[in-house]
Amino acid sequence: MSVLQKLDEYRYLIPKSFREGMKIEGLIYASSELIDAIEHDLTLTQVANVATLTGLVGRSLAMPDAHQGYGFAIGGVAAADMAKGIVSAGGVGFDINCGVRLLRSDLRLNEVRPKIDSVLNQMFRDIPCGTGKKGVVGALSYEELDRVLELGAHWAVEKGYGIDADLRHMEETGRMPNADPGKVSRRAKERGKDQLGTLGSGNHFAEVQYVSEIFDSEVAGAFGLFAEQIVVLIHTGSRGLGHQVCTDYLEIMQEGMRKYGIQVVDRQLACVPIQSPEGQSYLKAMASAANFAFANRQMITHWTREAFATVLGNGDLPVVYDVCHNIAKEETHRVSGSSRKLLVHRKGATRAFPKHRPEIPADYMEVGQPVLIPGSMGTCSYVLVGTERAMEETFGSSCHGAGRAKSRHAAKKEITAEKLIEDLKHKGIHVRGASKSGLTEENPDAYKDVSLVVEVVHNAGIARKVAKLVPIGVIKG
């Protein structure tokens, strides 16, 4: 019998009796269809393991796209008290500020579909993607890279990759203020200095999509979205620089744990007090890597605009919003009736703030923050909006995508790249991929159905559906 307590149709509680040492309960958002997969791997154990960490408040949460990760489950949210809690590098993950950005156009599906091959060819030429691919800007000097780490997307705009208006529609305006490049190792910089402006490989992509359905016309209107509109979704992160920052601080935190007498049930949960020198250094290094990711998405935005201008004669693609999936942020939340300063770890989860939160852009203030949920390649993606209920239950967080269900190897075995490209073309989706194996590993059948995931967050009230997006062209790393 399941150890989970079903609270309602979409909420499953992991009681403290699940494992020794749990200081708080765990809560999983899922439907009856999704909970089976979640119970099948180590997700429950990992959510419970997180609940053993010091200074967490509320519950250890998992979103409906949750699956087994390292230490923390992917799709996990955990909030630590700023004064007494811990920060965990593993609770943010290796791809710091892996995130998604949505661009909107004033073009319609029927104007772009006939030219989609040319659009993709141009984007594929201009946006470096795939394994080992270097950025077209060449290797940056350490001085210039430090400016990227300090300024994030602002650096990119300063260099001509975009306009000031872009910055208003990003979490943190595309620049986390507490970055300190001095806390980022030479090795991390060495990995990052020629990777700025690259998509990378794995599940990263850029997709040309159209708005296939509007669920909430008032909010869609505020986000500048309308039916049949062409939009572009960009999914990438901080590349090797962020991976190395996490690798470095996992080691620093393990040493710190000895110093502070902290023990964890899984080494990947290595953590230190937020207010310790190690904790503060990590947050500054993490913010630097997050800024690298913001700059990265900004540069890819610029080349996408150029490709649209060249092929379609219209490169006007304003930013709808840019969200982080892997991040820890200092935020104020109400916990049991009182206002608390917390460090919210989102590991494969999206911030989903409602209207009137000071962190969201002025022109979205009356509707709430756009929550961008990419689906697996060739399926569909969603735009949601943050809710009050998310503030009450999930520290203003929601899901981040479909969530992988099969191993890359299993995904690859099921289909050849040629067959996959043909099948997608049949569905009206054109694909350019840097490698055949990269494509088949991202076979949509390897993922959970993103629509099921989105239904859960919508019905549970921790984000609300605004629009559905369907791809017509995909660039894969």
Partner 1 sequence: MEEGYRILEHPADVGIEAFGNTLKDAFEYAALGLTSIIVEPASVDPSEQRFVSLKGTDPENLLVRWLSEIIYLYDGEDFLLSDVNISRLAHGELEATLAGEKMNESKHKLKMDVKAITYHQLMVEEEPEGVLLRVFLDI
Of 31, 54, 68, 451, which one interacts with partner 1 (CB under 8 A)? 68
**313 is a site residue for partner 1 (CB under 8 A):** no
HEC string of the chain equals CCCCEEEECCEEEECHHHCCCCCCCEEEECCHHHHHHHHHCCHHHHHHHHCCCCCEEEEEEEEEEEEEEECEEEEEEEEEECCCCEEECCCCCCCCCCEEEEEEEEEEHHHHHHHHHHHHHHHHHHCCCCCCCCCCCCCCCHHHHHHHHHHCHHHHHHCCCCCHHHHHCCHHHHCCCCCCHHHCCHHHHHHHCCCCCCCCCCCCEEEEEEEEEECCHHHHHHHCCCCCEEEEEEEECCHHHHHHHHHHHHHHHHHHHHHHCCCCCCHHHCEEECCCHHHHHHHHHHHHHHHHHHHHHHHHHHHHHHHHHHHHCCCCCCEEEEEECEEEEEEEEEECCEEEEEEEEEECCEECCCCCCCCCCHHHCCCCCEEEECCCCCCCEEEEECCHHHHHHCCCEECCCCCECCCHHHHHHHCCHHHHHHHHHHCCCEEEECCHHHHHHCCHHHECCHHHHHHHHHHHCCCEEEEEEEEEEEEEC
Nearer to partner 1, 129 or 470 (CB): 129
**146 is a site residue for partner 1 (CB under 8 A):** no
**71 is a site residue for partner 1 (CB under 8 A):** yes
**251 is a site residue for partner 1 (CB under 8 A):** yes
Nearer to partner 1, 134 or 340 (CB): 134
Q: Among 13-21, 63-71, 208-216, 219-227, which window interacts with partner 1 (CB under 8 A)?
A: 63-71
Q: Among 155-163, 250-258, 375-383, 419-427, which window interacts with partner 1 (CB under 8 A)?
A: 250-258
- In 3D space, the residue among 297, 403, 393 whose CA is nearest the CA of residue 349 turns out to be 403
Of 102, 129, 270, 475, which one interacts with partner 1 (CB under 8 A)? 270
Nearer to partner 1, 71 or 473 (CB): 71
User: Token pair for residue 354?
Assistant: 């409602």
Nearer to partner 1, 105 or 198 (CB): 198
**19 is a site residue for partner 1 (CB under 8 A):** no
Nearer to partner 1, 446 or 466 (CB): 446
Q: Shortest approach of partner 1 to residue 39 CB, angstroms? A: 14
Distance (Å, whole) CA 192 – CA 296:
11
Q: Shortest approach of partner 1 to residue 416 CB, angstroms? A: 17
Fill in the amino acid letter for 179.
A
**94 is a site residue for partner 1 (CB under 8 A):** yes
**67 is a site residue for partner 1 (CB under 8 A):** yes
The 187-226 site mask, x for binding partner 1 (CB under 8 A), equals x--xx--------xxx------------------------
First to last CA, the chain: 43
**5 is a site residue for partner 1 (CB under 8 A):** no
User: Token pair for residue 396?
Assistant: 């203003």
Of 31, 121, 212, 268, which one interacts with partner 1 (CB under 8 A)? 268
Q: Among 70-78, 366-374, 378-386, 393-401, which window interacts with partner 1 (CB under 8 A)?
A: 70-78
Burial of residue 28 (number of CB atoms within 10 Å: 0-12, 13-18, 19+):
buried
**436 is a site residue for partner 1 (CB under 8 A):** no
**45 is a site residue for partner 1 (CB under 8 A):** no
**Residue ranges in 99-138 that form contacts with partner 1 under rule CB under 8 A:** 131-132
**409 is a site residue for partner 1 (CB under 8 A):** yes
**95 is a site residue for partner 1 (CB under 8 A):** yes
**Residue ranges in 152-191 that form contacts with partner 1 under rule CB under 8 A:** 187, 190-191
Q: Among 170-178, 260-268, 337-345, 418-426, which window interacts with partner 1 (CB under 8 A)?
A: 260-268
Of 34, 250, 271, 327, which one interacts with partner 1 (CB under 8 A)? 250
**389 is a site residue for partner 1 (CB under 8 A):** no
Q: How many CB atoms lie within 10 A of CB 5?
A: 13
Please work out the total of residues on this chain that contact partner 1, with binding judged by CB under 8 A: 40
Bridge-based pairing of strands 430-433 and 397-398 is: unpaired
Nearer to partner 1, 118 or 407 (CB): 407
Active site (catalytic) residues: 400
**259 is a site residue for partner 1 (CB under 8 A):** no
**74 is a site residue for partner 1 (CB under 8 A):** yes
Nearer to partner 1, 258 or 426 (CB): 258
- Contacts with partner 1, residue ranges (CB under 8 A): 41, 67-71, 74, 93-95, 131-132, 187, 190-191, 200-202, 240, 243-244, 246-247, 250-251, 254, 266-268, 270, 404-410, 435, 437-438
